[in-house]
Structure 1
Amino acid sequence: MIPVDEARARVAARVAALARDWAADPAAAAGAVVRIALHPPSERDALAQQGAVIAWRDAWTAAATEPGVALEWATRSWSRLGAQSVPARVAIEGADALARFAGRETADAWARVRDRVAAAIEGLGGGAAVASAARSHATALAAYGDDEFQTVLDVSRWLAEHPVDGMRPRQLPIRGVDSKWFGAHRAVVSALVLAASGRESLGIVGDAQQFRVRLLDERVLPGAPRAFGASVDELAVLRVEADAVLVLENLETLLALPPMPGVVAVHGAGYAAAELARIPWLTGARVRYWGDLDSNGFAILHRLRSALPSVVSVVMDEEALLAHRDLWVREPKPARGAYPTLEPFEQAALDRVRDEGDVRLEQERIPWAFALERLDAALAQR
């Protein structure tokens, strides 16, 4: 017997996997369907577990009253119990109904992706190219806070309508846009602008983002400086033999790390950390991310994990947060997005950060003994 909760979990996984496609294609969203065989009990099972079978049947009867849920019944002719009608299969049709059936969290996440992608497509004139770009960056669009998303949309629309060949980010006549903002949002904005305008290049010039690197084991790149800065393109051509890469949110922490065998440490430069996924030797290693215990730290983790799904967080859990309550400060500009790539324990930590009033535990404030013990354990995991 497939219980209702298991079916909801299966549907939640399907929604998470296909949300971007559905958001960019309303017709596909409307026609989306998930069918699940419920494996009804045998007569022997019904006799042995009468109470459980009745509860299972009643649960599915109740679930069938939800919008978009169609329950198919089958009649079983049993020698001792006679003819019995039992749930045999369930079909849930439509992305909205599927998300609702999966539960509140999935429904909220789906609605956010759906609405953000639709707003981006409509705001940039529609068309297959824009829909494709919005689909590709749906996770990032959904993760933005409301004001941040509106700024991304406004900037993208303006750039699509006003060629800016040769300008640097600081020269753009757009309120709130500078090199730091543009660097953090360049991938999304570029994709949307090029799709909406049909141009091959954004035309904006500027220095490539520099990432600070420390070789915690000089053997991973013999002859290189132990600490240096380089762009993603420059890092990508290096022949680094790293067993593990530790990405950190704060530069001060990077500089304080002790030697670690086989490990390279990289300053993620905030939201630009996702660019690191373009480095072959980094993606081929075990990647660990350690950021601040605040909403922006988890937003950065989500951005990086969206580009590099295998990344594992370190010292970003509720236990670490609560163990250092005396070191908390207030986060001045909390991130308000939803981050579906977070693991349950990470989401629990983010929920606590928000429930406590948008607190922040900066990584450099955590005592070294505690932090290094966690780092060593995380780096030892295969």
Structure 2
Amino acid sequence: MTNEDQISAGAARIPAAAYALCLCIGLVGANSLALGPIAPRVAESFASGVPAVMTASAAFGIGTAASALLLAGLIDRFGAGRVLRYALLAFLAALAASGAAPALAAFVGAQLLAGLAAGLALPAIYTLAALAAPAGRESDTLGIVLFGWTLSMVAGVSLSAVIADLLGWRMVYAIVVVAGLAAMAGTTKLTAGGNPTRRTAPSPLSALRVPGIAPLLLACAAFMASFYGVYGYVGDHLHRGLGLPVSAGGLLALCYGLGFGATTFLDRWIDRLGPARLLPLFFAVVGAVYLAMTAASASYPALLAVVFCWGMANHAALNVLILRLAALDPGRRGAIMGLNSGVTYLALFAGTTGFGPLYASAGFSALAGLAVALMLVAALAAALAPRAATASA
């Protein structure tokens, strides 16, 4: 080791790879979250309704879940860096197809393909984040990577509604593809990640036998279903329920993203206090935010304030959840992160499809009420997860 390496190791600096992975998260997040705010414009283009357009989000979720559950073992076999680069290329091609889709069916199909690529990209990103993190700064490093969700909200989703109003929704996907090419350039120096085995890739489903994983995956499912179920329809609630322009969804997404990013400075305290102690508490806080959302649903300024808190609470909860999962079995981290992504996007499907009928019949406040119940399930599951299952407890 050179003197420069020794100084760097002693300082335990956040590695440059974390910032490249942050951009990759932002790319995937822009597609995952942009459809909600622009759904009214997409629906008008295809002469359809918002719930029908949101089936594209459900298709993206199903594709991501299927890919993560069936193919994420390739990460442990070939290396996370290599898998990430190929997945990002496929993802960009699917985004281009989405923007050029001539009909709703083609748009849904393109989003399904984007999901298949994202199902490999996300667990590869989280695996590389865990591998790159210096000892004692795991939460800090992951916080930088998760800041990509803030980038997708602030620089992507919040602008997408404005772009959809001014230039049309197709231009949103064109801009994301261009930004994705820049993100790809940042991955060229990433190593393969870990020690590729070249053996047959294990199924991520085999990681279900890892002690402590079941309650954490249940918590993940409840957490993500509540988020995507509420987020998927908040744009339509602003547009149709409150009579605001589509661009109002952009400002709301901006507030969420700023809240999500504002929590980054607290990540170092997570490493000191221990993820196992904090996870049930953070899930309970998210539930309290949804409870406040039911009271604020009729006021746009009140919703903006609550959504800022929503972003803060979700960042803290997501950070700790991924830390706990990543620490379960370092030798099978790729498979475990594949399970995490699979459950996350099955929850996206369940949230967008299951919350839709409730939204149509009972309105937005009912969605937030259901989310409160789901977060109680998440908090209970996290509390029951054995603390010995993570080295960080």
TM-score by length of structure 1 reads 0.27
Q: Which has the higher helix share?
A: 2
Q: Say which structure, 1 or 2, has more relative contact order (CA 8 Å, 6+ apart).
A: 2
Q: Which has the higher strand share?
A: 1
TM-score by length of structure 2 reads 0.26
